[in-house]
Amino acid sequence: MSAVVVAEQESRDLWVGGRGPLLVFAFSVLLSAMTYLAATNRAMNFLEQREAVNLTVQVSLTVGVLLTLLVSADAISGERERGTLEALLLTPVSRRGIVGGKLVAALTLWLACLVVTVPYLWVLGRGVAVAGQAALLTLIVGTLVAVGLGGLGLLISALTSSNKTSLASSLLLLLVLFAPTQLPALPKTGIGEALVRVNPIGSSLHYVSQVLVNRRSWTYDLSYLLSPALLAVVVCGVLIATSPRIVKLTAGVSSE
């Protein structure tokens, strides 16, 4: 119950405080520009409609997860620096409740990004009846990735001694995971295949494109969702197990 109170307040701070709307506005500007180019630009409008929808889903998923990661990376280290964490730790709310509430609040940003994405999917997917499928796919796959990376952001936030370090580490992590997805096509066997499968973002984007562009069934390449699912489960497990020791006034895992 206390976790719900923390989640409510954190969400209110995020959305009423102005940070959430600003990030979502920037996100929608990015999607608008991309959709406009996909629909009109000579260099890009060769894209088949399904490919345009796939591109939108991929941008939405990557940027939405990036924003979620940024919010969660600020959640504990930011409170430490602002001097508000001690008051929270002095309440009867368990450390797990605090972490759970903060993760849920960060995930509201991902859900907002998803809601913003739906109209773009509808516009680009008209005529091929793919918008609904794309939205559902984005919800399921994106939420899986957002939980995993949002949780990882919280872990980094709890373990790093400054907010800048936490944010920089989280951004670096996302860059490391995202960069391989932009490389020219990796070989489809051996190391290339393994790199795609082991990377939660790479494998998620691959799975989405297989369903949307290549019209595979949802179960055909389901094994590609193993790494994002595993990441989400492992990170949540680690948070549950370690939060009593890592959510504290000073960073690190040593006993205070």
Partner 1 sequence: MASLEAVRLSKRYGDRVAVDDLSFVAEQGDILGLLGPNGAGKTTTIRLLTTILRPTSGSFRVAGMDGDDPAGIRRRIGVLPESSGYPNRQTGAEYLRYSARLFGRDRAGAAQIADRLLADVGLSDRAGSRISTYSRGMRQRLGIARALVNDPAVVFLDEPTLGLDPAGQLEVLTTIRQIALHRGATVVLSTHTLTEVEQLCNSLLILHHGRVRAAGTVEDVIATAGRRIGSTRLSDAFLSLTNEERP
Q: What are phi and psi of 93, to 5 degrees?
A: -65, 130
**Segment interacting with partner 1 (CB under 8 A) among 44-52, 78-86, 218-226, 229-237:** 78-86
- Closest to partner 1 by CB, 95 vs 206, is 95
Nearest distance in Å: CB 7, partner 1: 12
Q: How far apart are CA 9 and CA 228, in angstroms?
A: 28
Nearest distance in Å: CB 116, partner 1: 23
What one-letter code names the amino acid at 32?
A: S
Nearest distance in Å: CB 26, partner 1: 20
| Helices and strands in the chain: count of H runs, count of E runs | 11, 0
Asked whether position 242 contacts partner 1 by CB under 8 A, the answer is: no
Nearest distance in Å: CB 255, partner 1: 6
Q: Could you tell me which residues come within 8 angstroms of residue 161 by beta carbon, excluding any fewer than 6 positions away?
A: 77, 250, 251, 252
How far the first Cα of the chain sits from its last, in Å, is 27
Angle between helices 200-212 and 190-198 (to 10 degrees): 100
Contact characters 79-98, partner 1, x per CB under 8 A: ---xxx-xxxxxxxxx----
Q: How far apart are CA 96 and CA 99, in angstroms?
A: 5
- Closest to partner 1 by CB, 2 vs 49, is 2
Q: Report in angstroms the alpha-carbon separations of 242 from 165, 220, 236, 245, 255.
A: 20, 36, 10, 5, 11
- Asked if residues 43 and 124 have their Cβ atoms less than 8 Å apart, the reply is no
Interface with partner 1 in residues 103-162 (CB under 8 A): none
- Closest to partner 1 by CB, 48 vs 86, is 86
Contact characters 5-44, partner 1, x per CB under 8 A: xx--x---x--xxx--------------------------
Nearest distance in Å: CB 134, partner 1: 36
Residue 212 CA from chain centroid, whole number? 20
Nearest distance in Å: CB 245, partner 1: 10
- Closest to partner 1 by CB, 10 vs 60, is 10
Q: Please report, as ranges, the residues that interact with partner 1 according to CB under 8 A.
A: 1-2, 5-6, 9, 13, 16-18, 82-84, 86-94, 248-249, 255-256
